[in-house]
Amino acid sequence: MSTERLYKTIYGIAKVINSTLNPSKVLAGIAEQATRAMDAKGCFIRVLDRSGTILLPDASYGLSERYASKGPVEVAKSLLDQDVLQGRMVTIDDVRTDPRFQYGAQAAEEGLVSLVVVPLTARGGAVIGVLRIYSGAPRTFTADELDFLTCIANLSGIALENARMYHALKRTSELANAYVYQTFED
């Protein structure tokens, strides 16, 4: 990946992040930008549920609806995601045969081969999800590509956290206004 392409992609991702506070739209734009920049087959961004036991699908690009809806990723059943949620990046040469990958048969049907997964981190280093990049052929990701994906994952985590805080603040303001209105009306 050329330096120029890398900077253009990061610029494109910054534009996506600044365009909306809708988390789904931001993550969908990031998934598309990451897929295109990496010349990959697809990207999947999953976010931990409130219990911290399931990675919920939040955005994908380049993958079929059938694959995107294949089922939940249960952290207890996915050795791969257990490592990533500890803050470690994981690369897999062949997801079709690696026992750490929960849906190997479905990946084979989708034409997926190599994979890199990076943690989505929020402020304070908390891991709140994962970003996965898939290739359709055997591939060894370069150190520059892995650094690039780590940068994108960190931006994604910050964007997601900002959107969540905005919506929480908005909801709190609405509740406070409703309380004040009710108190003075009674």
Encoding tokens for residue 23?
């988390």
pLDDT of 186 reads: 67
Residue 6, classed as helix, strand or coil, is helix
Q: What is the pLDDT along the chain (186 residues), one digit of tens a residue?
A: 677 888 888 888 888 888 888 888 889 999 999 999 999 999 999 999 999 999 999 899 999 999 988 888 899 988 899 999 999 999 999 999 998 888 889 999 999 999 999 999 988 889 999 999 999 999 999 999 999 999 999 988 988 888 888 888 888 988 888 877 777 676
DSSP state of 3: H
pLDDT of 150 reads: 93
